[in-house]
Amino acid sequence: MLRVSNSLIALLNLLGLVASIPVLTISLWLRKHAINECERTLGVPLMVLGIILFFLSLVGLIGSCCRVSSLLWLYLFLTFLIILSLFVFSFFAIAVTSKGAGKAVPGTGIKDHKLGDYSKWLQENVVDGHSWVKIKSCLIQAQVCGSLRNDHLRKASVLYRMSLSPLESGCCKPPIACGFIYKNATFWVPPKSGPAVPDDDCTTWSNNQQILCIDCKSCKAGVLASLKNDWRKLAILNICVMIFLLIVYSVGQCALKNITEDGYKRYRPFQ
């Protein structure tokens, strides 16, 4: 008769096996039916997650139900590696996102973002070179500035009362410090005397509705600000997952101990 720990680890892995099916299905759907390359790229991490979850759950399920100690050893080893990986990533994510925050523009609800405020690692590995070409393409395809092209934003006062996202603030308008003349939320005219400050973003700004400030450093900063928020949330999720996996790991150890003890008694019946 299976003990409670064996039954529990079998149930948990059965649920994991079932959960991996929709994850793999969604990843395959994204790979084949995505509207653009950005959505298609999202299918890759989902597929990796689905494969890991499927394989790990299958090993744990067979090991616990069939009482195969070698498979449970493998299951515990893989679970430990995942816990370690989550811990390392969470620590790394918190470390590289510790710097950087938007600066509130006085008299408005808008925050301007500066690229230099964020960590060197993020600048060099996320928004530099070839990586930025892909991100820029995704921003254009996703029409991140589309929500600002509304009639109710014809007055600057309305825009200044809004709480813009880091992407909208960095990519869809010039920095407020440039002193540009507001025509609408995505159309700004430089004063005849030129920009109020010697900022490269002031000269990079374009009223071409496909470009706007996507080539600006402030747009890169907005991407890093969004990434920082997402990574912080992911780090919290990882901690919750680690706690759950530690519980699963403990139950798995109990199940392995039960199987090992039963096997020992079977081969040493008179001791």
| Residue 27: per-residue pLDDT | 85
| Residue 263: per-residue pLDDT | 52
| Residue 201: per-residue pLDDT | 95
Asked whether the predicted pLDDT for residue 85 surpasses 90, the reply is yes
The total of other beta-carbon atoms located within 10 Å of residue 3's CB is 14
Asked whether the predicted pLDDT for residue 267 surpasses 60, the reply is no
Average pLDDT over residues 56-74: 90
Residue 54 makes CB contacts below 8 A (sequence gap 6+) with: 17, 20, 21, 24
Average pLDDT over residues 233-249: 89
| φ, ψ at 104 (rounded to 5°) | -65, 135
Q: Give 114-120 contacts, CB < 8 A, sequence gap 24+.
A: 114/217, 114/218, 114/221, 115/217, 115/218, 115/220, 115/221, 115/224, 117/221, 118/221, 118/224, 118/225, 118/228
Using 50, 70 and 90 to split pLDDT, how confident is the model at 153? confident
| Residue 205: per-residue pLDDT | 95
Least Cα distance to 127 among 216, 41, 212 occurs for: 216
| Residue 106: per-residue pLDDT | 83
| Residue 174: per-residue pLDDT | 93
Least Cα distance to 156 among 202, 114, 109, 210 occurs for: 109
The rounded distance, in Å, linking the Cα atoms of 209 and 246 is: 50
Using 50, 70 and 90 to split pLDDT, how confident is the model at 101? confident
DSSP state for residue 180 in the 8-state scheme: P
| Residue 264: per-residue pLDDT | 47
Give the highest mean pLDDT range of 73-87, 121-135, 244-258: 73-87
Asked whether the predicted pLDDT for residue 146 surpasses 90, the reply is no
| Residue 206: per-residue pLDDT | 93
| Residue 259: per-residue pLDDT | 79
Percent of all residues in the chain with a pLDDT value above 70, rounded to a whole number: 93
Q: Enter the pTM of the model.
A: 0.84
Asked whether the predicted pLDDT for residue 36 surpasses 90, the reply is no
The rounded distance, in Å, linking the Cα atoms of 215 and 205 is: 8
Residue 120 makes CB contacts below 8 A (sequence gap 6+) with: none
Cβ–Cβ < 8 Å for 94, 235: yes
Average pLDDT of the chain? 86
| Residue 214: per-residue pLDDT | 93
The rounded distance, in Å, linking the Cα atoms of 97 and 57 is: 33
